[in-house]
Structure 1
Amino acid sequence: MRVLVAYASKYGATEGIAQRIGETLRGRELEVDVAKCGDVAEVSGYDAYVVGSAAYEFNWRKEARKLVEHNTDQLAAHPVWLFSSGPLGTEKVDKEGKDVLQGAEPKQFKQYADLLHPRGTQVFRGAYDHDKVHGADRIIAWMPGIRDAMPQGDFREWDVIDTWAMSIADALGAPAGGR
């Protein structure tokens, strides 16, 4: 079974998540291609899709939105899973007591629900390094108060990512084993 794991990443954290999902699925004897959304010229020929993006201001990156919106019929005709990354830190709930990961869901999860009927959606924690920020983000990141307010570090929970990827492999009927 062929699976496409497509991602849109700005600073590499989401790419790392996509690569890990791909490795986990390969470990379950699935044939997997992991590619940047902007590099995917053709989505036909796959039996399942995992599409993810970093989220900024509750939106996926443009490349991920374009991939889905230009290939809705093809994606909807197969099993599809969606993921997002972005929340920083380790807090489980915000100041109002709401789940941090649920609160970080991108708008696209709702927008694509009726179009794609995804078998699952997942928000993963991201990573942030002040020194890797560039372009317009650099100006914002260096504003007084913002730099100190942004938790710095790698907050990706690899066990959560592996468990989610294994659930995809299970749903696709992949042989047991792997991580």
Structure 2
Amino acid sequence: MRVLVAYASKYGATEGIAQRIGAALRGRELDVHVAKCADVAEAAGYDAYVVGSAAYEFNWRKDARKFVERNADELASHPVWLFSSGPLGTEKVDKEGKDVLKGAEPKQFTEYADLLHPRGTQVFRGAYDHDKIRGADRIIAWMPAIRDVMPQGDFREWDAIDAWATSIADALGTSAGGR
């Protein structure tokens, strides 16, 4: 079974998640291709899709949105899962007592629900390093008030990512053994 894991990442944290999902699926005997959304010219030819993006201000990156819009018919005709990354820190609930990951869902999860009928959606924590910020983001990231609020570090929960990838492999009916 051929699976495409397509992603849009700005600083590499989401790419790392996509690569980890791809590795976990390969370990379940799937033929997996992991690629940037912008680099996938043709999405046809796969049996299932996992699409993810970093989210900023509750929106996926433009490359991921364009990928879905360009390939909506193909994606909708196969099993598809969507993921997002973004929340920083380790808090499980916000100051109002709401689930942090649920509260960080991008608008696209709702927008694509009727379009793609995803079998699952998941938000993962991201990573942030002040020193790797570039371009226009540097202006905002170097403001003392922003630097003090943005927790720095790698908050990706690899066990949760592996478990989600395993659930995808289970849904696709792959064997429990690796290669």
Query: TM-score of the superposition, structure 2-length normalised?
Result: 0.99
Measure, in 1, the Cα distance between the counterparts of 2:141 and 2:28. Answer: 40
Question: What does 1:28-67 correspond to in 2, within 5 Å?
Answer: 28-67=28-67
**Corresponding residue of 1:98:** 98
Question: What does 1:110-129 correspond to in 2, within 5 Å?
Answer: 110-129=110-129
Measure, in 1, the Cα distance between the counterparts of 2:31 and 2:19. Answer: 13
Question: What does 1:125-140 correspond to in 2, within 5 Å?
Answer: 125-140=125-140
**Corresponding residue of 2:87:** 87
Q: Secondary structure at the match of 1:140?
A: helix
State the Cα distance separating 1:119 from its structure 2 match: 0.1
Q: Secondary structure at the match of 1:41?
A: coil
Deviations 1:67-112 (A, max 9, x none): 0011100000000000000000000000111000000000000000
Measure, in 2, the Cα distance between the counterparts of 1:88 and 1:107. Answer: 18
**Corresponding residue of 1:5:** 5
Q: Secondary structure at the match of 1:145?
A: helix
Could you tell me which amino acid in structure 2 is paired with residue 141 of structure 1? A
**Number of equivalent positions:** 178
Measure, in 2, the Cα distance between the counterparts of 1:96 and 1:37. Answer: 35
Deviations 1:22-68 (A, max 9, x none): 00000000000000000000000000000000000000000000000
Q: Secondary structure at the match of 2:6?
A: strand
Q: Structure 2: any 5+ residue segments left out of the alignment?
A: none
Q: Runs of 4+ in structure 1 displaced over 2 angstroms?
A: none
Could you tell me which amino acid in structure 1 is paired with residue 85 of structure 2? S
Q: Secondary structure at the match of 1:55?
A: strand
Measure, in 2, the Cα distance between the counterparts of 1:132 and 1:144. Answer: 16
State the Cα distance separating 1:145 from its structure 2 match: 1.0
